[in-house]
Amino acid sequence: MRKLDCQGKLTVKGRNWPVSQALCGEWVQLEQIGERVLVYYCRTVIRELDLGNQRATAVARWFPKSDTRAKM
């Protein structure tokens, strides 16, 4: 668990990464998978950090594989 700073940024491996200004001061959970770090707020992935390419990507929508909603 890590806490976002007052600008909604997170320090990972000595670099500041933008996560979300809306979540300033909130706690997030990190999960590292190879060169990627997934940033979770509650149980939702909100940001993906690519340490190799030095890129941060917002995750717009995430649905679990067991999603049973009707397809349109």
How confident is residue 10, by pLDDT bands cut at 50, 70 and 90? Answer: very high
Residue 42 lies in a domain: yes
Residue 19's alpha-carbon distances to 34, 50, 52, 61, 69, in angstroms, are 19, 13, 17, 15, 29
pTM of the complete model:
0.80
Q: For residue 51, what are the domain limits? A: 2-58
Q: Which residue has the higher pLDDT, 55 or 69?
A: 55
Q: Return the DSSP state at 71.
A: P
Residue 9 lies in a domain: yes
How many helices (H) and strands (E) the chain has is answered by 0, 7
Residue 68 lies in a domain: no
How confident is residue 59, by pLDDT bands cut at 50, 70 and 90? Answer: confident
Report how many domains make up the chain. 1
